[in-house]
Structure 1
Amino acid sequence: MLITTLRREWLTNPPRELLAGAVATFALIPEVIAFSFAAGVDPQVGLYGSFVIGIVIAFAGGRPAMVSAAAGSVALVAAPLVASHGLSYLFAAGLLAGALQIVFGLLRLGVLMRFVSQSVRTGFVNALAILIFAAQMPHLLGEGWQTYVLFAVALSLIYGVPRLNTTIPSPLIAIVLLTAAASLLQLPVKTVADLGRLPEALPIFAWPTVPVSWETLRIIVGPAVAIAMVGLLESLMTATVVDDLTKTPSARDRECTGLGFANMASSLFGGIAGCGMIGQTVSNVKYGGRGRLSTLFSCVFLLVLMVALKPWVSQVPVVVLVAIMVMVSIDTFNWSSLRAVVAHPRLSSTVMLSTVAVTVVSHNLALGVLVGVLLSGVFFTAKVSQLMDVAPEGDAAGGPLTYRVTGQVFFASADAFSESFDLDAAAEAGVRIDVSQAHFWDVTAVAALDKVVGRYRANGIPVEVVGMNQATATIVERLAVHDKSRPDFSKP
């Protein structure tokens, strides 16, 4: 079994895995450097972090073919800490964030992803696609005509070459050809060297130089929790996207612990914390990445490019990498969701669009998903509460008036339940409340039942509750405050 798993995850079509990982690497370079600037750190901090995270997650992660690295969402959280206390405190926060993620995984809290609806997932993916596309615009706006020509040619190669040959990923062909052309023609376009200082050596182990004190913990605990939660959320959402693309499951709890170990290792080797990268992951999967080898090679190749092949990589036109990321954003966006906005229920479409809007406006992935999950919960609660019904049925033989309750009685439907009973309509023989087709879920539901029973009794009207299922009877027995010893309140 172990041998089979190792072969499937590491040895399935190695050439394809290596080429797919190489494409993901070139898609990483501009993003990681940009995110490093957003966090207020040198590009090498982001690149070191991406290398270390990729190495660890390739072995410890729970989702083969997923690319993890320094991410924009983590950079936004980290920036205030770097600005106020410096780089060492960022590394300390990354260590604590990694430890929290390990605990999250050990407690098997990955199951919480079940509460993220498909509408929220679609909104998350679409919002990321929009953000990826928008992040490329600063590299294009205000540039010379040569940049736009290279951009158009790069897109033509990326989308045109696969019609003729699919052996080598077209983005790699575009990078090689256009880098050579730009160098030979000496085109005045920005290159990778213009983005910032690149690494000159391998990362080395170093413990964060911060005081070990309660004051340090006070400073880093807030950012650490934010980094941990944002990283987990983005990684788990990215894993879900890969699940859908490859029709294979992922081990969510293992992904949580793997990400924790990766972020702790990154912080100990001078790198920023990170998480799953949906754009680069989609690129990897699109070009055939299915196992852990593509993930491992994407980060190893990144360091090789940045250190061993630095002179060559420095000459790669930024606009070619921008074209690759534009392709990634186009492939990431769920275009069928545009038709689904009209075809799907209005509330589902509202959740999806709200997730997109909040994420794009705030540039905060966690906030966008949180709003989507909350809206899903509110809409679901409202929908379920409307399914509760109380129907009176008179007894021609002069027996008690029967109210038949159907559906779910809980905090959202409790008021409607209690307001459905009419004191004036009560028969002389009393009232029977039949709850055999209903379920009482919480203390608010039991309080509503108490209220109805108490109201009838206060007016001298006999009342009987019948048909409670075992779960309802148990919660009523524990929480009801009326006199359950009286014969007019019975359990089945």
Structure 2
Amino acid sequence: MSSFLTRLRAEWAPSIPRELLAGAVATFALIPEVIAFSFVAGVDPAVGLFASFVISIVIAFTGGRPAMVSAAAGSVALVAAPLVQSHGLGYLLAAGLLAGAVQVVFGLLKLGVLMRFVSSSVRTGFVNALAVLIFAAQLPHLHGAAPATWAMLALGLAIIYGLPWLGRVLRLPALSAVPSPLICVVALTLLASWLGLRLPTVADLGNLPDALPLFALPQVPVSLDTLRIILLPALAIAMVGLLESVLTAAVVDEMTETPSNKNRECTGLGLANIAASLFGGIAGCGMIGQAVGNVKYGGRGRLSTLFAGVFLLILMVSLKDWVSQVPVIALVAIMVMVSAETFDWKSLGTLVRHPRMSSAVMLATVAVTIGTHNLAAGVAAGVVLSGVFFAFKVSRMLQVRAVDDAATGQRTWHVSGQVFFASADAFIEAFDVLGAEGRPVCIDVTHAHFWDVTAVAALDKVVERLRHHGCAVQVVGLNEASAVLVDRMGGDAAPAGPLGRRDS
């Protein structure tokens, strides 16, 4: 029993005060982004805020990555916007339900393993691009800003970075007991009120909710026509959400040096999105900026995720009048800090030290993500480019060496490396067919592997050409996997000759 309680506390709340305070920091980091993303999707701020509350509560229990923050996200909002514009909120909620169901199935089928195909270069590009997008999202709040706004931003950043520094220098742990972003929000709100500064406030971002979310099914007809309308948007929401959540979980894994269950995270996200849709909220996913802030200020367990959602609801409903007075610039200061903490600054130095292809993948991921404002598009481009570069690199490892036997006149080609679609043409071109005309020929593939039908077709073509020029061809050394593939393909390189048997 004691061991169970120990594990439960380690998973939920290693330190209750730190979990609560870190969750509060994540909440303040959520507010401006969720409201902004709601406008991107074309829905009221209440839709995004209710979604964030419900998603945080549900995923705190069902997710696979403790301390990770999930809510209504910009990538999902971009995908959802066309559906809202063409058919309205009801169809968006129905699409969210279907997307959640797809994500649950994805997790149950244990497809989270696909994360292994995302290279570290792509993950770094994903993180850096998101940091740039988070910072860029703050620029509209600063465009044409008055000097007082810039002064408040400077003061906010000084509080956020200065208090922890003073605590270390003066050896005063009390200065680090409360996360400095919370002090920034309180201090700038009180100062703006005391000085009578006319700064944009949270109330200016949009109408905030004034009641609890209510359970209700989406108001759409249950028909095949409805399914036709929501199917593609739902699949897009599901894939974008899964991709961003799993990558965010990987980032938190690295920050905390602890593992997570990616399949459970997929299932948990699906359940959270189903619940959000049933309570009138937009679907969401992992929020890397808020997750980084949560972890940075002590969040390690599920309690910080849970409290981020609960505190958001408390602020939006019970403390609405107080939150409405918070200057937007205080939240901008927090998001600038989140952006700086999210960016992998070490990656700039490694650009020249890492292989050029890896650096190119990272830069391409950043460029596509920033250019499209779509994290999924950036990651997809990075994964494709990684695959192309890998195939190119492996294809260059193929070697074909010819050795002539003066006594018998036989020419033996020794093949080593990987033969597949990217190296098949090079394999064919390596054989000097005219130089071996009329001679006995041996193709030794002991140190080679044939991976696909293109590779087998290339071997078949070489054998056919040699036989056409009067050569008696023998192929030796096929490993078992290659021999099975050749056997299935048939043709001149099939078991009718010596090619189909494993020759030791």
The TM tier, using the shorter chain, reads over 0.9
Equivalent-residue separation in structure 2 for 1:487 and 1:360 (angstroms): 56
Q: With structure 2 as the length reference, what TM-score do the two structures score?
A: 0.96
Equivalent-residue separation in structure 1 for 2:237 and 2:336 (angstroms): 27
Equivalent-residue separation in structure 2 for 1:85 and 1:488 (angstroms): 61
- Counterpart of 1:240? 250
Equivalent-residue separation in structure 1 for 2:495 and 2:208 (angstroms): 75
Structure 2 residue corresponding to 1:101, chosen from 100, 103, 112: 103
The farther-off stretch of 46-55 and 453-462 is 453-462
Structure 1 residue corresponding to 2:378, chosen from 368, 372, 378: 368
Task: Report the AA paired with residue 161 of structure 1.
Answer: L
The answer to whether 1:332 aligns with 2:334 is: no
Cα deviation 1:49-100 (Å, max 9, x = unaligned): 0000000000000000000000000111111111111111110010000001
Cα deviation 1:423-461 (Å, max 9, x = unaligned): 232275501111000000011111111111111112221
1:262-301 → structure 2 map (5 Å cutoff): 262-301=272-311
Paired residues in the alignment total 492
Stretches of structure 2 lacking an aligned partner (at least 5 in a row): 168-174
Equivalent-residue separation in structure 2 for 1:456 and 1:428 (angstroms): 9
Q: Which runs of 4+ in 1 moved over 4 A?
A: 487-490
Structure 2 residue corresponding to 1:432, chosen from 436, 442, 449: 442
The farther-off stretch of 225-234 and 143-152 is 143-152
What secondary structure does 2:470 align onto? coil
What secondary structure does 1:398 align onto? coil
- Counterpart of 1:479? 489
* CA deviation after TM superposition for structure 1 residue 339, in Å: 1.0
- Counterpart of 1:145? 147
What secondary structure does 1:166 align onto? helix
Q: With structure 1 as the length reference, what TM-score do the two structures score?
A: 0.98
- Counterpart of 2:171? none
Is the Cα contact below 8 Å between 2:476 and 2:502 reproduced in 1?
yes
Task: Report the AA paired with residue 382 of structure 2.
Answer: G
Q: CA RMSD in A?
A: 1.2
* CA deviation after TM superposition for structure 1 residue 399, in Å: 4.3
* CA deviation after TM superposition for structure 1 residue 418, in Å: 1.1
Equivalent-residue separation in structure 2 for 1:390 and 1:5 (angstroms): 57
Equivalent-residue separation in structure 2 for 1:373 and 1:321 (angstroms): 34
Equivalent-residue separation in structure 2 for 1:42 and 1:279 (angstroms): 23
Is the Cα contact below 8 Å between 1:447 and 1:480 reproduced in 2?
no
Cα deviation 1:6-53 (Å, max 9, x = unaligned): 121113111111110000000000000000111111111000000000
* CA deviation after TM superposition for structure 1 residue 489, in Å: 6.4
- Counterpart of 1:180? 190
Identical amino acids, percent of aligned pairs: 68
C-alpha change, 1:314 and 1:488, in structure 2 (3 Å) is: closer
What secondary structure does 1:408 align onto? strand
1:369-388 → structure 2 map (5 Å cutoff): 369-388=379-398
Equivalent-residue separation in structure 1 for 2:343 and 2:13 (angstroms): 30
Task: Report the AA paired with residue 430 of structure 1.
Answer: P
- Counterpart of 2:170? none
Is the Cα contact below 8 Å between 1:97 and 1:224 reproduced in 2?
yes
The answer to whether 1:190 aligns with 2:200 is: yes
The answer to whether 1:470 aligns with 2:472 is: no
Task: Report the AA paired with residue 128 of structure 2.
Answer: N
- Counterpart of 1:31? 33
Stretches of structure 1 lacking an aligned partner (at least 5 in a row): none
Cα deviation 1:376-416 (Å, max 9, x = unaligned): 00010000000001000111322411100000000111111
The answer to whether 1:223 aligns with 2:225 is: no
C-alpha change, 1:166 and 1:421, in structure 2 (3 Å) is: same
1:330-479 → structure 2 map (5 Å cutoff): 330-426=340-436, 429-479=439-489
Is the Cα contact below 8 Å between 1:400 and 1:427 reproduced in 2?
no
Cα deviation 1:290-328 (Å, max 9, x = unaligned): 110000001100000111111111111100000000000
Equivalent-residue separation in structure 2 for 1:306 and 1:58 (angstroms): 20
